């Protein structure tokens, strides 16, 4: 069956197939996310996984978000399994009630091996005799209620999720190791990047884009995601380009009429399809190579990326026009979305766009209903620490214990907004600095800031000085440093007698007792306190003497052996 695949597999595709097969052979249920760009061959991974499940005597279900995609996938699976005793059925509202009842009965008695269906698969009356594999295509199109129903199916079932732009929560689960992740990044042969234009709506630009596509005998998707006035928009397109044959398609149409319009468009009886985002998921129409999106500011980042992936699928140069009203001010999030989709036009940008979506919207709630949103009540560092510990417990890996060091020094140490303007980038810089464990790590952070943002202002230099002191404290096991009224108290540092003598020589009137060192710095101690204390600790306990309470330093020779 695999040898009959009409295309040459890409290395990423083969790796994903191997990982999925290996997961299916394990004693625990599979939960793998296959993330790959639109048209990169994720469906073939699902075809091979379904065939493997059927060969093992199990049933396979493929859950898709739209009737059009169910139709297309059903045709693909039937063609691939045509030479084998595998019964493939489709379950969607395109079928009559009698046909639907026949498919449901076949699933219940085990005579249907593979079913491709829409949300109809999640209905209460659908029962499987022995479901072994659940494939969820375009997961971002399913809501929380649907996913709760899916969870009820998946307790003992292998689950394979396919998407080009995973929702933030799914991506976060994969990045933290809770779900397995396979990336399919190799583009098919002859695929070209899509030329993307983001800007204000202009009738002349739209008319020119449609006419240019008609001149090379191609077709156009015109997306307007409002059913109420979609007919008026279609009339406007007819006025702009009278020679174009324009049709309308949306999800509220009668099933027969919708299927007829789409098939007519497929057979090139129409030039422009004015539609809602119903064409977003998985449709493969090689002759459509121009996309116009009206009110792109109202659509999500993943939606825009999926829509753009509907064109340019057969090596033709494709064009995407993402337009917003000229007389309205965009919200900050809408601006960020359009800016991101305009910048990321390279092949294989889906994963980068999902990562950017995770930054813009946040990771959501792993246990509740929110699929995006910031973990404001917990805090980012604590949240990451909790997830790491939970994953470590399940995988048997002992997570490294974080070193708790409290630094209280009277100095203005921060990253000014005029130096790093974006809040999310500034927070990431703070997080990176909080994780340093050595002086070399601090040097690396300093070089990165110099390279990205330019010369460091005084508060940023002071922040680095405090980080150097924290790294030195972590090396020596010091719990905290407090500077008040010109006196520094260092908690958790135990010195030998020789080091106490050296301390009093370096800083007169210093006191070291009971695991605490008190060092007078002078009444004017401020910005210089952190670097002064760092230098003092390095002088007292050099880096080659990691144990300050030890008796014999590593570089001091011991007693000579007797001959």
In DSSP terms, which residues pair with 117 in a beta bridge? 63, 91
3-state secondary structure 329-378: CCCHHHHHHHHHHHHCCCCCCHHHHHHHHHHHHCCCCCCCCCCCCCCCCC
- Nearest CA to 233 out of 262, 270, 273, 265 is that of 273
Q: Around 40, how many Cα atoms within 13 Å sit in the side-chain half-sphere?
A: 28
- Nearest CA to 88 out of 109, 105, 68, 103 is that of 103
- Rounded distance between C-alpha atoms, residue 20 and residue 12, angstroms: 12
113 contacts: CB under 8 Å, gap ≥ 6: 54, 59, 60, 86, 87, 88
| Every domain of the chain and the residues it spans | 2-184, 195-346, 406-540
Residues in the chain predicted with pLDDT less than 50, given as ranges, are 169, 347-348, 350-351, 359-372, 374-376, 545-563
Beta strands in 129-169, from DSSP E residues, in sequence order: 131-137, 158-163
Contact indicator for 288, 262 with CB cutoff of 8 Å:
no
Return the structure tokens found at 374. 């910031």
3-state secondary structure of 541: coil
- Rounded distance between C-alpha atoms, residue 187 and residue 37, angstroms: 8
Overall fold of domain 2-184: Rossmann fold (3.40.50)
In DSSP terms, which residues pair with 3 in a beta bridge? none
- Rounded distance between C-alpha atoms, residue 85 and residue 193, angstroms: 40
Q: Around 47, how many Cα atoms within 13 Å sit in the side-chain half-sphere?
A: 21
- Rounded distance between C-alpha atoms, residue 529 and residue 511, angstroms: 17
Residue-wise DSSP of 237-297: HHHH-TTS-EEEE-TTS-HHHHHHHHHHHHTTS-SEEEE-GGG-SS---TTEEEEEETTGG
pLDDT of residue 386: 73
Contact indicator for 490, 541 with CB cutoff of 8 Å:
no
- Rounded distance between C-alpha atoms, residue 130 and residue 100, angstroms: 19
412: exposed, middle or buried (C-beta count within 10 Å: 0-12, 13-18, 19+)? Answer: exposed
b or e along 13-43 (b: 16 or more beta carbons within 10 Å of the residue's beta carbon)?
beebbebbeebbeeeebbbbbbbbbbbbbbb
Contact indicator for 217, 286 with CB cutoff of 8 Å:
no
* pLDDT digit string, tens, across residues 224-249: 988 898 999 999 999 999 999 999 98
- Nearest CA to 150 out of 128, 166, 173, 168 is that of 128
- Rounded distance between C-alpha atoms, residue 128 and residue 141, angstroms: 24
209: exposed, middle or buried (C-beta count within 10 Å: 0-12, 13-18, 19+)? Answer: buried
- Rounded distance between C-alpha atoms, residue 22 and residue 26, angstroms: 7
How many CB atoms are closer than 10 A to CB 396?
A: 6
Overall fold of domain 195-346: Rossmann fold (3.40.50)
pLDDT of residue 315: 64
pLDDT of residue 157: 86
For domain 406-540, the CATH class is alpha beta
H helices of 405-528, where? 423-434, 439-453, 458-476, 497-506
Residue bearing tokens 């000014």: 416
- Rounded distance between C-alpha atoms, residue 510 and residue 493, angstroms: 13
* Phi then psi dihedrals of residue 132, to 5 deg: -115, -25
Contact indicator for 321, 212 with CB cutoff of 8 Å:
no
371 contacts: CB under 8 Å, gap ≥ 6: 144, 167, 168, 169, 170, 364
- Rounded distance between C-alpha atoms, residue 73 and residue 51, angstroms: 14
pLDDT of residue 414: 87
Return the structure tokens found at 474. 């972590």
- Rounded distance between C-alpha atoms, residue 461 and residue 466, angstroms: 9
Residue bearing tokens 């939606």: 303
Q: Do the two domains 2-184 and 406-540 of this chain adopt the same fold?
A: no
- Rounded distance between C-alpha atoms, residue 464 and residue 531, angstroms: 10
Q: How far apart are the first and last CA of the chain?
A: 78
- Nearest CA to 494 out of 515, 480, 473 is that of 515
Q: Structure pTM? A: 0.55
- Rounded distance between C-alpha atoms, residue 284 and residue 266, angstroms: 10
């Amino acid at each position: 069956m695999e040898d009959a695949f009409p295309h040459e597999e890409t290395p990423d595709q083969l790796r994903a197939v191997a990982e999925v097969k290996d997961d299916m052979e394990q004693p625990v249920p599979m939960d793998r996310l296959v993330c790959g760009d639109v048209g990169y061959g994720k469906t073939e991974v699902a075809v091979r996984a379904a065939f493997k499940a059927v060969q093992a005597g199990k049933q396979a279900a493929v859950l898709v978000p739209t009737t059009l995609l169910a139709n297309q996938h059903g045709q693909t699976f039937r063609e691939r399994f045509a030479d084998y005793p595998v019964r493939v059925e489709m379950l969607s509202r395109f079928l009559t009630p009698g046909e639907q009842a026949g498919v449901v009965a076949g699933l219940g008695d085990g005579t249907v091996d593979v079913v491709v269906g829409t949300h109809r698969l999640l209905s209460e009356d659908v029962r499987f005799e022995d479901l072994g594999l659940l494939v969820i295509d375009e997961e971002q199109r399913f809501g929380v209620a649907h996913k709760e129903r899916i969870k009820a199916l998946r307790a003992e079932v292998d689950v394979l999720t396919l998407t080009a732009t995973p929702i933030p929560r799914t991506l976060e689960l994969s990045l933290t190791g809770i779900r397995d992740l396979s990336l399919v990044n190799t583009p098919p042969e002859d695929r070209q990047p899509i030329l993307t234009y983001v800007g204000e709506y202009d009738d002349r630009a739209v008319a020119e884009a449609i006419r240019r596509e008609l001149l090379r005998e191609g077709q156009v998707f015109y997306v307007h995601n409002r059913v109420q006035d979609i007919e008026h928009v279609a009339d406007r397109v007819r006025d702009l380009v009278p020679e174009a044959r324009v049709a309308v398609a949306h999800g509220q149409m009668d099933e027969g009429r919708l299927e007829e319009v789409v098939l007519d468009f497929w057979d090139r009886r129409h030039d422009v399809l004015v539609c809602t985002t119903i064409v977003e998921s998985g449709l493969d129409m090689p002759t459509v190579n121009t996309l116009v999106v009206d009110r792109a500011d109202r659509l999500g980042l993943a939606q825009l990326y999926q829509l753009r992936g509907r064109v340019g699928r057969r090596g033709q140069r494709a064009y995407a026009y993402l337009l917003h009203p000229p007389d309205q001010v965009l919200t900050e999030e809408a601006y960020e979305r359009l800016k991101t989709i305009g910048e990321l036009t390279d092949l294989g940008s889906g994963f980068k766009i999902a990562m950017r979506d995770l930054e813009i919207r946040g990771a959501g709630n792993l246990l509740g209903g929110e699929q995006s949103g910031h973990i404001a009540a917990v805090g980012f560092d604590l949240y990451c620490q909790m997830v790491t510990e939970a994953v470590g417990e399940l995988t048997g890996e002992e997570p490294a214990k974080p070193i708790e060091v409290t630094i209280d020094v009277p100095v203005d140490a921060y990253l000014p907004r005029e130096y790093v303007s974006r809040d999310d980038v500034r927070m990431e810089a703070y997080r990176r600095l909080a994780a340093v464990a050595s002086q070399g790590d601090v040097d690396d952070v300093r070089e990165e800031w110099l390279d990205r943002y330019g010369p460091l202002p005084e508060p940023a230099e002071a922040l680095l000085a405090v980080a150097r002191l924290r790294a030195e404290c972590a090396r020596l096991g010091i719990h905290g440093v407090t500077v008040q009224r010109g006196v520094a108290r260092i908690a958790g540092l135990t010195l030998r007698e020789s080091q106490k003598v050296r301390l009093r020589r370096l800083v007169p009137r210093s006191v070291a007792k009971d695991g605490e060192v008190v060092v007078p710095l002078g009444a004017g101690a401020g910005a210089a306190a952190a670097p002064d204390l760092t230098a003092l600790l390095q002088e007292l306990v050099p880096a080659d003497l990691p144990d300050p309470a030890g008796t014999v330093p590593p570089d001091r020779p011991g007693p000579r052996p007797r001959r």
